[in-house]
Amino acid sequence: MNTENVDILIIGAGPSGSVAAGYLQKQGAKIKVVEKQKFPRIVVGESLIPRVMDHFNEAGLFEALDSYGFEKKPGARFIRGKEICIFDFSNKFGEGWDWTWQIPRADFDKAMTDELQRKGVDIAFETEVTNVEFNGTDSITTIKDKNGTFSQIHAKFVIDCSGYGRVLPRILKLESPSKLDPHSAIFTHVKDINRPDGVEGTQISFDIIETEVWLWVIPFSNGNTSVGIVGPTEYIDKLSATANTEEAIKNAIKLSDFYVKRFDKLPFEFDPIHLKNYSVAVSQFYGEGYALTGNSTEFLDPVFSSGVCFATESGILAAKLALKQINGEEVNWEKEYTEYMKYGIDVFTTYVKEWYTGNLQELFYHQPENPDVKRKICAVLAGYVWNKENTFVAKHHNIIKNMAYMIRENRMDS
């Protein structure tokens, strides 16, 4: 069996794996990326948030990605009947990027890996990890290519960026139930032939059908738009009595007074994809010789587009710490990695939970708006969830529910 030796093996070539690879390539590390699928491929996670731009920039990918002309995302709109709440990333608390992209992931992920390969990064597509054995921090990973040929990779460290493939959590039995209630989603793309001119046509929006049910609309620069429905699994399952995803998404579009005329009766670019009970978790984020990143650790919910942000945040951080470790520097993985990542995940988990309780929606639609509150919430939605100077980060456990309670009490008194 053929073998090769690397400093760091990266499993998965999505956003997490790509930023990890980009950073490590710049540092001169000997790396290899193995990816089970062939790119381009369709995957969820099409709405980014500004924090990710820091990671693409640091990984040396920003200029290449910017040249593709992906649709710019300066904020987000939340619709509830006739009520509208718009967040503008340029009007947020603290420093940080004022915009990001909304992207068809098939094209975006291919653009990243094309740039990495242009820079000399070794990426093995259509290659599956079948086993990993650790001997201290060193490891031997067995892989199988598209022809069924097995080989082995000796690595000083492994970064699992496999996303929903969850390679190491599966092999090492690290999977754990999510703390969030079971929700599901169905999405597809349409050729947006009824797209209005101007901002309305390109505005990313979330249309609230019920407190826990919402439709996403993500326009792309190629003329297509992603349309998806999210809600409790039981609700999503009832959209089609025969579990037909095409029927389900058509019925979901009909529930949107705002978008039904734009998208009703349009053909789908691909069979709608059903993501059932999508929230996942793990029992630990790292071990001797490996780190888990992105969806290999936890995936919360698509409502605030945090998935790719946590993927790139953890991917580039794991790369930095792994490089320090193989260079003989001491790394406190619990403090520098797990505690750091869990803090940001914990903040977003609160926002996801309070969205579905309706408490956060009370703050979104309260009139008159409180500009200070809105700026601080906007910073969270932009992904800056480690800035403890923001009270809506530092006091996230209680501040949303307390303010929502006050709003309801004042409404009753009046």
pLDDT score for 131: 96
C-alpha–C-alpha distance, residues 289 and 139, integer Å: 7
Gap between the Cα atoms of 346 and 331, Å rounded: 23
Question: In Å, how far are 186, 254, 305 from 213, measured between CA atoms?
Answer: 12, 13, 16
> Helix, strand or coil for residue 111?
helix
Helices (H), 255-306: 260-263
User: 62-87: per-residue pLDDT in tens?
Assistant: 999 999 999 999 999 999 999 999 99
DSSP H helices, 298-339, are: 307-326, 333
Cα separation, 395 vs 388, in Å, equals 9
Q: What is the pLDDT of residues 88-141, one digit of tens each?
A: 999 999 999 999 999 999 999 999 999 999 999 999 999 999 999 999 999 999
Burial label for 234, CB within 10 Å (0-12, 13-18, 19+), is exposed
Which conformational region is residue 265 in: left (phi greater than 0), alpha (psi within -120 to 50 degrees), or beta?
left
333-369 pLDDT per residue, tens: 999 999 999 999 999 999 999 999 999 999 999 999 9
Q: Is the pTM of this model over 0.85?
A: yes
Q: b vs e for 24-44, b when ≥16 Cβ sit within 10 Å of the residue's Cβ?
A: bbeeebebbbbbbbebeebbb
Report how far residue 19's alpha carbon sits from residue 316's, in angstroms, rounded to the nearest whole number: 6
Tokens describing residue 413: 């008194």
- Rounded to whole angstroms, the Cα distance separating 34 from 14 reads 11
Strand intervals (E) in 265-373: 273-275, 281-282, 286-287, 290-292
- Tokens at residue 216, please? 């996403």
Q: What angle do CA 8, 12, 13 make, to 5 degrees?
A: 100
**Lookup: tokens for 258:** 């705002």
The domains of the chain are located at: 2-72+95-177+279-343, 183-275
Taking the C-alpha atoms of residue 213 and residue 257, their distance in angstroms, rounded to an integer, is: 14
d(CA 12, CA 55): 17
Q: What is the tens place of the pLDDT at every residue in 206-220?
A: 999 999 999 999 999
Mention the CATH class of domain 2-72+95-177+279-343. Answer: alpha beta
Phi and psi at 10, nearest 5°, equal -110, 125
Between 98-112, 284-298, 391-405, the lowest mean confidence (pLDDT) is in: 284-298
Q: Which residue has the tokens 């967040």?
A: 87
* Per-residue pLDDT at 411: 86
pLDDT of 262-284, one tens digit each? 999 999 999 999 998 777 788 89
User: According to the model, what pLDDT value does residue 61 have?
Assistant: 98
Segment 157-185 shows an average pLDDT of 89
What is the structure's pLDDT at 280?
78
Sign of the alpha-carbon dihedral angle for 315, 321, 324, 326: negative
Q: Is the dihedral of CA 92, 95, 99, 102 positive or negative?
A: negative
At 32, list the tokens: 């290899």
Q: Name which of 40, 274, 288 is nearest 168 in CA terms.
A: 288
Q: Is the pLDDT of residue 414 over 70?
A: no
Instruction: Please report which confidence band the pLDDT of residue 302 belongs to, taking 50, 70 and 90 as the band edges.
Output: confident
For the chain, the helix, strand and coil percentages under 3-state DSSP, each to the nearest 5: 40, 25, 35
User: Mean pLDDT over residues 226-247, rounded?
Assistant: 95
| Helix (H/G/I), strand (E/B), else coil: 33 | strand
Q: CATH classification of 183-275 is 2.40.50.140, yes or no? A: no
Q: Beta strands of 220-332 (E only): which ranges?
A: 224-232, 273-275, 281-282, 286-287, 290-292
pLDDT of residue 277: 79
Structure tokens at 128: 């599956």
